[in-house]
Amino acid sequence: MKALVLEAEGQPFRLKSVPDPVPGPGEAVVRVIACGAGLTIQHVRAGRIKVDYPRIIGHEITGVVEALGAGVTTLKVGDPVTAYFYLTCGHCRWCRSNRETLCENFGGYVGREVDGGYAELIKLPARNFLKIPEGLDWRKHPAEVGVICDAIATPVKVIRRAQVSAWDTVAVFGAGGGLGIHMLMLAKWAHARVIAVDVAADKFDACRKAGADECVNPAETDASEALRDLTGGKGVDVVIDFVSSRTTLNAGAKALGRGGRLVTLGGSGQAVEASAQHLLNNEAIIMGSRYATKQEVIDSLELVARGEVWPLLTDIRPMQEAEALHQKVEKGEVTGRAALLIG
Ligand SMILES: [Zn+2]
C-alpha cells in the first residue's frame, strides 16, 4: 500500500510503498478514504510528541472495512467506519462505566503507538472502528465525516461534562483553533450565549459564523475584565480553555461567576491559580476533559447525520500534498479543520 511515513523526528513525510497490514485475531483492516489533519497530529510530525519511527500518523478517518481477523463479529467487510483515537482495554472499571478515556490499561493513541490513517490501509483492534450511521453521506463528504470522531466528539463531551445549557454564557479560549471553532458550534447548538476569546482576530469572522455572539481579543484587552463587562459584572457560567497557559487559565478562573465551571483540555498544560475563597463563594468547579468516549463519538456521528451540526473543513487535499498542508496547520493558517483524501 501507499503510505505517508515519518522516518525520523521532525523529518517530512515520505510517500512510499509499505507492506499491506494483515489483521490478527480481534483486529480489522480498513481501506482509508480520508483522514483529518489537525494540530494533534502535527505535534507528532513536528517532533513535539515522541513516537517510535517509522510511524504513520492520523486518526480522524473515514474508511471501509477491507478484512477481518479471527473472532471479529461486530463488523462486516464493506462496512463504512470511522476510528476511535484511544487504545483502551474495554474491560477495566473505567472502560465498563463509559469513562474509557481514563482506562487503567491505556495503550496509547492511534497514529502514535500504532500506525494510523495516513495510508491506504489501517489496521486496528476491531473495537476501535465505529460504524458510520445511515444518513451520513460519507461517499460525498469523506473528509467531513472523518473528523467528526474528534473535532465534534471532543466538544460534545465538554458540553456534557460542563452541563452547558441555554441559560449559560460560555467563553471559549482558543476559539479560532480547529477544536475551538467546533466548540463554539456545539455551545451554540446547546443554545448558550457564546463568547469567542482568541488573539487571532483574523479568525473572528469564522468564529461568528460558527456561533460566537461576541469576540474578545486578549491582545487588546484584559480578557477576564472583558468577560465580566459582557455579563454585567456577573462573570461567565462556563470557560472552556483550549490554550491552558497560565495566563488564559488565570483569566478564565477570574472570569467565572456563580456556579461557574472552568474546563481545561490540556493545551500547554500549565498551572492555574484559583482563589479558594472565590471557588467556595461561587461553588465554582475546575475540571479537565479528555477527548470523548466511544458512545460520545457515536452520538456525534448521529448528531451530524441528523443535520444538527456540520464540521467546518476549509482545506481538503490529496495525500501527495500532506507536507504543504501540515506546514499550514503548523502556522495556524487553517480555519476549522483540514484533511487529506487518501483513497
Ligand atoms: Zn480500560
pLDDT for 267 beyond 90: no
pLDDT for 309 beyond 90: yes
- Given this model, what pLDDT does residue 265 score? 96
Quote the ligand 1 centre to 98 CA distance (angstroms).
10
Summarize the confidence of residues 162-189 as an average pLDDT: 97
Quote the ligand 1 centre to 87 CA distance (angstroms).
9
Quote the ligand 1 centre to 341 CA distance (angstroms).
32
- Given this model, what pLDDT does residue 235 score? 98
Report residue 316's pLDDT band, with 50, 70 and 90 as the boundaries. very high
Quote the ligand 1 centre to 304 CA distance (angstroms).
28
pLDDT > 70 fraction of the chain, expressed in percent and rounded: 100
Q: What does pLDDT average to over the chain?
A: 97
Quote the ligand 1 centre to 4 CA distance (angstroms).
30
Q: Express each pLDDT in 40-78 by its tens digit.
A: 999 999 999 999 999 999 999 999 999 999 999 999 999
Q: Express each pLDDT in 245-263 by its tens digit.
A: 999 999 999 999 999 999 9
Quote the ligand 1 centre to 88 CA distance (angstroms).
5
pLDDT for 313 beyond 90: yes
Quote the ligand 1 centre to 25 CA distance (angstroms).
19
Strands 337-341 and 313-318, by their bridges, are parallel
Within a 13 Å sphere around the CA of 92, how many CA atoms are in the beta-carbon half?
13
Q: Express each pLDDT in 108-129 by its tens digit.
A: 999 999 999 999 999 999 999 9
- Given this model, what pLDDT does residue 206 score? 97
Summarize the confidence of residues 88-107 as an average pLDDT: 97
- Given this model, what pLDDT does residue 164 score? 98
Quote the ligand 1 centre to 99 CA distance (angstroms).
9
Quote the ligand 1 centre to 127 CA distance (angstroms).
12
Quote the ligand 1 centre to 30 CA distance (angstroms).
24
Q: Express each pLDDT in 209-240 by its tens digit.
A: 999 999 999 999 999 999 999 999 999 999 99
Quote the ligand 1 centre to 108 CA distance (angstroms).
11
Q: Express each pLDDT in 19-34 by its tens digit.
A: 999 999 999 999 999 9
Quote the ligand 1 centre to 90 CA distance (angstroms).
5
Quote the ligand 1 centre to 93 CA distance (angstroms).
7
- Given this model, what pLDDT does residue 2 score? 98
Quote the ligand 1 centre to 125 CA distance (angstroms).
14
Quote the ligand 1 centre to 181 CA distance (angstroms).
30
